Structure 1
Amino acid sequence: MDSDRVIVMDSKNQSKSKLNKTEKKFLRKQTKARHTLLRHEGIDTVSHATQCLVVANGGLGNGVSRSQVLPVLEQCGLVDALLMPPNKPYSFVRYKTTEESKKAYHTLNGKEIVDDLGQKIILYLNFVEKVQWKEMGLQVLPPGLMVVEDIISSEDEKMFLESINWTESTDNQNVQKSLRHRRVKHFGYEFHYETNSVDKSKPLPGGLPEICNGILEKWLKEGYIKHKPDQLTINQYEPGHGIPAHIDTHSAFEDEIISLSLGAEIVMDFKHPDGVTVPVMLPRRSLLVMTGESRYLWTHGITPRKFDTVPASESHKSGVIVSDVGDLTLNKRGARTSFTFRKVRQASCHCSYPLVCDSQTKEIAPSFPESDKDASQLEQEYVHQVYEEIARHFSSTRHTPWPNIVAFLKALPSGSVVVDIGCGNGKYLGINNEVHMIGCDRSQNLVDICRERQFQAFVCDALAVPIRSGSCDACISIAVIHHFATAERRMAALQELVRLLRPGGKALVYVWAMEQEYNKQKSKYLKGTRNNRGKEEEISSDASVHGLPVEQGPGVGNGDSACPAPSAPSVSDFQERGCNSRKATNSKLPIHTNRTSFHSQDLLVPWHFKGSPSKNKPAEPLGTVGSPDPSPVFHRYYHVFCQGELEAACQTLSNVSILQSYHDQGNWCVVLQKL
């Protein structure tokens, strides 16, 4: 009897112990969610009860729709308002009374719900006094863009879809290809995705399908189009998949590009080179017409995802997805077929956007500095000042070192003296504890970060490093030299590296490559690499240039080599996206579109600054759509190197041999040795 009783008591104590562990684990996760929201969004929670709650992991950006979370919240009382900001992994709820919100806090905290994909999500609730978030920047269609709803009837839609013969063509009148996640047919001319153009010398026999003639004549008569197309691409998309952002090549097609959406609606993202993104709803049986600026300057693409953020009501069927946070939900994608029509251009393009026009950039050379003084001023404005501003944000995107650079540093003999010229946040300064390593950078704010991390670093220019000649066993220059604005200044930076080396000393140099596709493999920059949590990384070779860091360019700055499939973000891995362009008004250099191939060697590359709202700025009250200043976009100067250019420059150096030359994820790299 006594023995049995002891066993029962021990069992009860053990259950109590397990419960305490569960409670502690939950409290840790709730605290983590609260701190994450404050860090990334400036959402300050409070310990006392209010009518308002922030629901972490219960947002559109987390794969949770309004129809899923609202019934759960209504179990605890009358919901006065449910606000779901676009692309955010949280939502805000206001109850009629504080008692109801307290009930929700105690009842729903830690509640597990299942999203439309069958994934389990745990909600974490905290009280808030005020609500704040960053609004989407632009709320109008890009200039020249038009969406026409119900352009054809449902009967015509069925006829068009049934007319497509997806069996292999035997009459050579079209080209059919099965790409990953979609099937494609081309008529008139084959559309080449690698160049976003056609081979004008190789028209396909047969022209466009007969079924298209009548509807194209009707659109011409009604004024929707001005040219009758002679090229057609039919894409059949699997649900959840899309196409990369791109601009159809200027010289290949006339102004109008039109696309008929059949089978399902979709959200297409339009992006300006300065960073402004506009999501546009394309309903089923609608016609998209791109002309002027929207056709020539803005990229268009479809983000691969299972759900789109759309208005919950029927008030906005097409056009811009406005950020009415009280009327947004998720829409599951279906199978969609698009008919995209183009008119092949027979002459050169003379559009009003020469800096992004392939016809005109061949004729107009970029504006280069005419003197060393001008070059220095350009670097000051588009390199040094930019990285002073973005230093903290830049540092937050740079974590994992690159394998080849790590291998170079770890192969150095014990006791070697090594200098990292353009050390950025010091990512490489602690790689090998057996060597004596020091960093230098042109950015005071980046050097401050190095010192906070207990690394030795100082401020200097890469053209004049205050270290005695011949005193270093090794040097590294990672993504630095491409920020100098003339060939003479780039050579001077290489000569300064060699000056520091002792005889026999080695230097490793990385610069961005013009060739982002090499040996039939695209760099991770073009692929839009994601890390092991499904979050898209800031892309770059990392390190600073001239002491300044880089971003969204070749290579993977965070060093992840694996690229798993994307997953829904949670509050813990949320990173805000903003867009408020700072125009590059003082330069005639072309502005690069991130995640696309380079079309010019000298250009400005945007950095999309992501940061929390100012803590001194008052928060917006619940139910009010605020419009705090969107995040800025900075522009940085780069000279991207063509194949052989870096190696040829190094060969002109005296007393130097090239030990190795290679391409590494969108970078040209050399290993030098001083003779």
Structure 2
Amino acid sequence: MNIDKKDGPKLNKMEKKFLRKQSKARHVLLKHEGIQAVPYPTKSLVVANGGLGNGVSRKQLLLALEKCGHVEALLMPPNKPYACVIYKTIEESKKAYANLNGKEIIDDLGQKIILYLNFVEKAQWKHLELQALPPGLLVVEEIISSEDEKMLLESVNWTGDTDNQNFQKSLKHRRVKHFGYEFDYESNTVDKDKPLPGGLPDICNSILEKWLKEGYIKHKPDQLTVNQYEPGHGIPAHIDTHSAFEDEIISLSLGSEIVMDFKHPDGVTIQVMLPRRSLLVMTGESRYLWTHGITPRKFDTVQASEQFKGGIIKSDAGDLTLSKRGIRTSFTFRKVRHVPCSCRYSSVCDTKRKATPPCLPESSKEAWQLEQDHVHRVYDLIARHFSSTRHSPWPRIVEFLKALPSGSIVADIGCGNGKYLGINKELYMIGCDRSQNLVDICRERQFQALVCDALSVPFRSGCFDACISIAVIHHFSTAERRVAALQELARLLRPGGQALIYVWAMEQEYKNQKSSYLRGSKTSNEDKEDINGDKSTEGFLVNQITDGGSEDPPSSLPSTVNIKEEGCQPRKVELPVHTNRTCFHSQDVLVPWHLKGNPDKDRAIEPFDLTRSPDPSPVFHRYYHVFCDGELEASCQALGDISILKSYYDQGNWCVVLQKV
């Protein structure tokens, strides 16, 4: 290293680059994880880039760390891109700091990863108690022999029957074959009057008879779906349709192990390892109430203990590693239901949901209270997290704004975090939103914005050349209030002025084109970001009973809200909670948002301490009225003083461009 008489050691380009990256890693860990590095040597080091979340296994990291000394503990939190190592002595940790900082290792996918180490004061991990399996769930290991596994896999002819789509389908992320009855993925049900010829394969019948005799199952299935998953593929969280199948659903895992996620409507998630040749039996609550799914990834986080084979994955950072996925084939057996479902889980039962239409607000006061509880309060509570998902503007909205004449005065009504306010620097734009916290974010970004209600915007009539309203009108809970919001937009426009309006569409599969929301695209867009602010998949009826006025925001919204008129008994308003990544079955729904972390609250920075068990993400429910084809145009035509220049469908939204007459 060169020495400069004035400035001390002179760093070369590579050394400067390394120090910048090490400093960046330190700041990222502080900002996002609350991990405070210290400037002096300790026995504990945080290893950025060396975590389960970015493909580094425990064995792989230990190989590098143990070359520098005796490792007393290696803590690898689940799904995090960092780890913490505790050495026996400070001298050993100093050696690791000197030798491994900037070291390149190869992960299990063959990709290069560079480690960045910093000292921390201490690192601890609290061993969590083992959770129980969801009620009614059973995992039976080694249910069949390896010889039976081979015969079952060979019995599925993936190259034959390709002309008969009743037998075999190629879905986006897996190959599927049906026996007994075809499962229709559009309606999530089966045609009970059209059994497939041939029934179940003979080899399956003999195995099912054996399981019946041994008591693992109570009924013989008559429908089989065979799925083949490549590494990296999965299946969205879902509940098998109540009206389609009886209580007992069983799934045999062949070829490779897998981790399946089970999630309760209250947000509790349990990860269950399904070993190769194991049988999963779902009955009762686990079948009817909990969703189950497989996260698309090439590695699963599993227990490192050699004795662990199957069951619940504990969040124990001291005993977690990665398991590489192989090609897995599942045989899922079900019995087709021929009578209505009589389960006690009416909140998620499609039979009962169809029989009980939503009960909507009957007065302006009820509508206001519903919006207050399930729009206004929610957006204030989730503002920071919500804003973190709003970064990519939609092309057709950008096109509209950039086509406006230079110097145009434009209002963004319901501007959120203001992502459209700075699109065209030649415009004078002002935003407004009902959420104080979202408006604060706009101001932090140096945008002009104010707090107001979209039904009463504090600007004089006819003062804007253009207005935009993106994903706002659908939050009003009656047709009259939606028309009033449109009328307010028209009032603001000068004669000849234009307004662009976007609302969610009920038709998520318009002209056989699935929206990116249903496709699960990684492309950033309003549908995906807004509807899928988390990956929650609940679907249940909520009895809304608004409490009539507590202004203290709860950690998560209650499932009941009191709607009470003067001198009257509280009235129940029932709304279905939408299941994400599925088509809409009701126009008036509550859409779940799982708040990740606590971005609205500054955390006290403490030494790196993993004893704090992460709380389940609070769940908030936002009210939406999803529009049917033609409904937005009809609402606009009720205004009288506008003409519709254009209407179109854009990735799960109905859109119109209005002009003031």
TM-score (norm 1): 0.87
Does 1:552 pair with 2:532? yes
Cα pair 2:260 2:274 within 8 Å, conserved: yes
**How far did 1:140 drift?**
3.1
Does 1:656 pair with 2:642? yes
Unaligned runs of 5+ in 2: 3-8, 535-554, 562-572
| 3-state SS, counterpart of residue 527 of structure 2 | coil
| 3-state SS, counterpart of residue 426 of structure 2 | coil
* 1:171-250 matched pairs, under 5 angstroms: 175-180=167-172, 182-250=174-242
Deviations 1:117-162 (A, max 9, x none): 1100000011111347999999332232221111122232223223
Counterparts of 1:157 and 1:647 in 2: how far apart (Å)?
57
| 3-state SS, counterpart of residue 356 of structure 1 | coil
Counterparts of 1:184 and 1:377 in 2: how far apart (Å)?
46
Distance 1:581 1:259, change over 3 A: farther
Distance 1:137 1:18, change over 3 A: farther
Q: Which residue of 2 aligns with 1:585?
A: 560
Q: Which residue of 1 aligns with 2:35?
A: 43
Counterparts of 2:126 and 2:447 in 1: how far apart (Å)?
36
| 3-state SS, counterpart of residue 422 of structure 2 | coil
* 1:358-397 matched pairs, under 5 angstroms: 358-397=350-389
Deviations 1:64-111 (A, max 9, x none): 001100010001110000011111111110000111111111110000
Counterparts of 2:651 and 2:130 in 1: how far apart (Å)?
34
| 3-state SS, counterpart of residue 484 of structure 2 | helix
Cα pair 1:553 1:595 within 8 Å, conserved: no
| 3-state SS, counterpart of residue 419 of structure 1 | strand
Q: Which residue of 1 aligns with 2:633?
A: 647
Which shows bigger deviation, 632-641 or 137-146? Answer: 137-146
**How far did 1:513 drift?**
1.2
Does 1:517 pair with 2:504? no
Counterparts of 1:615 and 1:406 in 2: how far apart (Å)?
34
Distance 1:447 1:78, change over 3 A: same
Cα pair 1:138 1:277 within 8 Å, conserved: no
Cα pair 1:143 1:292 within 8 Å, conserved: yes
**How far did 1:183 drift?**
3.0
Q: Which residue of 1 aligns with 2:623?
A: 637
The amino acid across from 1:476 in the alignment is I
**How far did 1:406 drift?**
0.9
Cα pair 2:439 2:451 within 8 Å, conserved: yes
Does 1:104 pair with 2:96? yes
**How far did 1:621 drift?**
7.1
**How far did 1:276 drift?**
3.3
**How far did 1:619 drift?**
5.2
Does 1:492 pair with 2:479? no
- Which of 273, 277, 280 aligns to 1:285? It is 277
Does 1:603 pair with 2:583? no
Cα pair 1:78 1:95 within 8 Å, conserved: yes
Q: Which residue of 2 aligns with 1:573?
A: none
Cα pair 2:516 2:528 within 8 Å, conserved: no
Identity of aligned residues (%): 76
Q: Which residue of 1 aligns with 2:75?
A: 83
Distance 1:625 1:452, change over 3 A: closer
Deviations 1:412-445 (A, max 9, x none): 1222221111111111111222222111111111
Q: Which residue of 2 aligns with 1:627?
A: 613
Cα pair 1:189 1:231 within 8 Å, conserved: yes
TM-score (norm 2): 0.89
Which shows bigger deviation, 57-66 or 368-377? Answer: 368-377
| 3-state SS, counterpart of residue 167 of structure 2 | strand
The amino acid across from 2:325 in the alignment is R
Deviations 1:197-243 (A, max 9, x none): 21222111121111112221222233322221110111222233222
Deviations 1:592-621 (A, max 9, x none): 222222222212112121235876668587
* 1:167-566 matched pairs, under 5 angstroms: 167-169=159-161, 175-180=167-172, 182-530=174-522, 540=527, 550-552=530-532
Which shows bigger deviation, 355-364 or 173-182? Answer: 173-182
Cα pair 1:136 1:630 within 8 Å, conserved: no
Distance 1:179 1:636, change over 3 A: closer
**How far did 1:551 drift?**
4.7
- Which of 645, 654, 661 aligns to 1:668? It is 654
* 1:31-180 matched pairs, under 5 angstroms: 31-131=23-123, 139-169=131-161, 175-180=167-172
Which shows bigger deviation, 391-400 or 134-143? Answer: 134-143
Counterparts of 1:671 and 1:481 in 2: how far apart (Å)?
14
Counterparts of 2:370 and 2:247 in 1: how far apart (Å)?
34
Counterparts of 2:162 and 2:108 in 1: how far apart (Å)?
42
RMSD of Structure 2 on Structure 1 (CA) = 2.7
**How far did 1:367 drift?**
2.5
**How far did 1:538 drift?**
8.3
**How far did 1:61 drift?**
0.6
Q: Which residue of 1 aligns with 2:566?
A: none
**How far did 1:174 drift?**
6.9
Cα pair 2:56 2:107 within 8 Å, conserved: yes
Which shows bigger deviation, 603-612 or 454-463? Answer: 603-612
| 3-state SS, counterpart of residue 167 of structure 1 | coil
**How far did 1:496 drift?**
0.8
Distance 1:166 1:399, change over 3 A: closer
The amino acid across from 2:382 in the alignment is I
**How far did 1:625 drift?**
4.5
The amino acid across from 1:285 in the alignment is R
| 3-state SS, counterpart of residue 619 of structure 2 | strand
Cα pair 2:248 2:283 within 8 Å, conserved: yes
Cα pair 1:539 1:552 within 8 Å, conserved: no
**How far did 1:489 drift?**
1.0
Counterparts of 1:632 and 1:46 in 2: how far apart (Å)?
33
Deviations 1:465-512 (A, max 9, x none): 111112211111100111111111111111111111111111111111
Cα pair 1:539 1:553 within 8 Å, conserved: no
Deviations 1:335-378 (A, max 9, x none): 21111101111122232233332212221011312211111111
Unaligned runs of 5+ in 1: 1-9, 11-16, 532-536, 543-549, 555-579
Give the total of aligned pairs.
Answer: 622
Counterparts of 1:135 and 1:400 in 2: how far apart (Å)?
40
Cα pair 2:475 2:623 within 8 Å, conserved: yes
Distance 1:617 1:148, change over 3 A: farther
